[in-house]
Amino acid sequence: MALFKNFSKINFTQTKFILGAFYNRNFSTEMKETTIDLQGQTINYLKVGTGKKTILLLPGALGTIWTDFRPQIEKLDKNKLTIVAWDPPGYGKSRPPKRTFDKNLYHTDAKLAAELMNKLNIPKYSLVGWSDGGITSLILAAKNPERIEALVEWGANSYIIKEELEGLKKIRDVSKWSERMRKPMIEVYGEAYFRELWENWVDTIEVIYKENNGNICKEILSDIKCPTFIIHGAQDAVCHSDHPTYLHKEIKGSKLHVFPDGKHNLHLKYADEFNDMVTKFIESV
């Protein structure tokens, strides 16, 4: 998950989406998830569609296939695209084992995502990553230029600023959240594991800030060679506006589009417009 720009401006609805809690029990009966073992880690994934272009959807922090990408999975044209989506290790149904965190968490996820696509025998694909998944996508694209055809990211950051860290620390204790804010995540994880995940994630962001001087992946952005589409919501209270501007500058030839009224979860609120933009971009490469 990209981090908090102005905590005081985040209302319940936005925070719920930020946490990947766009939760709905009525999963489509036509879309069956399955699991695969990768390096001793259970990975839950979904593969649908018959399109020539394959995309990998990467959710945000604590996010899952369905909490973060239901409008994309259900509405993207599956005759044009083949969609692969995953629950990152330790999230959603990608358990056991439990999620472990360290300051290399995004690099670890990028390696495992690449291994997933290897095991699925998909040599060429595009990345569509939101928030934490966007960070993972940046690293994956930089490390595997021969495999990645295109990159779409929104709500991602390649470094952490102090203001963002301080905003996170204010909400580290989930017992201080309202019941409405806690409930969706508890439905996915159970109360104890949700608390454990969230606290460990916030603590790890602090470790990155202190030990890496806030740097996540700034030094490898120039290694991204694929066509890149950076999308940003001008009203995003989570991802500071400096981040898309910085990424656009550092990734040669990248395209930047701003939704004037978009927030962190713009792909959910503006799903049809977002899906159309992404499809056209992926098809163009």
Q: How far is 110 from 133, CA to CA, in rounded Å?
A: 9
- CA-wise closest residue to 207 among 104, 133, 131: 104
Q: For residue 271, is it within any domain?
A: yes
193-197 long-range contacts (CB < 8 A, ≥24 apart) are 193/98, 194/62, 196/98, 197/62, 197/90, 197/91, 197/99
Q: For residue 48, is it within any domain?
A: yes
Q: For residue 223, is it within any domain?
A: yes
Q: For residue 189, is it within any domain?
A: yes
What is the three-class DSSP state of 161? coil
- pLDDT for position 211: 97
Residue numbers of the domain that contains 237 = 7-284
Q: How many CB atoms lie within 10 A of CB 77?
A: 13
- pLDDT for position 31: 79
Q: How many residues does the chain have?
A: 285
- With beta carbons less than 8 A apart as the criterion, state whether 154 and 178 touch: no
What's the whole-model pTM score?
0.91
DSSP 264: T
- With beta carbons less than 8 A apart as the criterion, state whether 127 and 56 touch: yes
- pLDDT for position 6: 52
Q: How many CB atoms lie within 10 A of CB 51?
A: 18
Per residue of the chain (285 residues), give pLDDT as tens. Answer: 444 445 445 543 344 444 444 444 444 446 789 999 999 999 999 999 999 999 999 999 999 999 999 999 999 999 999 999 999 999 999 999 999 999 999 999 999 999 999 999 999 999 999 999 999 999 999 999 999 999 999 999 999 999 999 989 999 999 988 898 888 889 999 999 999 999 999 999 999 999 999 999 999 999 999 999 999 999 998 899 999 999 999 999 999 999 999 999 999 999 999 999 999 999 999
Q: For residue 169, is it within any domain?
A: yes
Q: How far is 57 from 99, CA to CA, in rounded Å?
A: 19
Active-site positions? 131, 236, 264
- With beta carbons less than 8 A apart as the criterion, state whether 263 and 32 touch: no
CATH code for the domain in which residue 118 is found? 3.40.50.1820
- pLDDT for position 184: 83
Q: For residue 1, is it within any domain?
A: no
The number of distinct structural domains making up the chain is 1
Q: How far is 81 from 167, CA to CA, in rounded Å?
A: 38
Q: How far is 54 from 85, CA to CA, in rounded Å?
A: 11
Q: For residue 153, is it within any domain?
A: yes
Q: How far is 147 from 234, CA to CA, in rounded Å?
A: 31
The two structure tokens encoding residue 168:
């996170």
The two structure tokens encoding residue 207:
């470790």
What is the three-class DSSP state of 266? helix
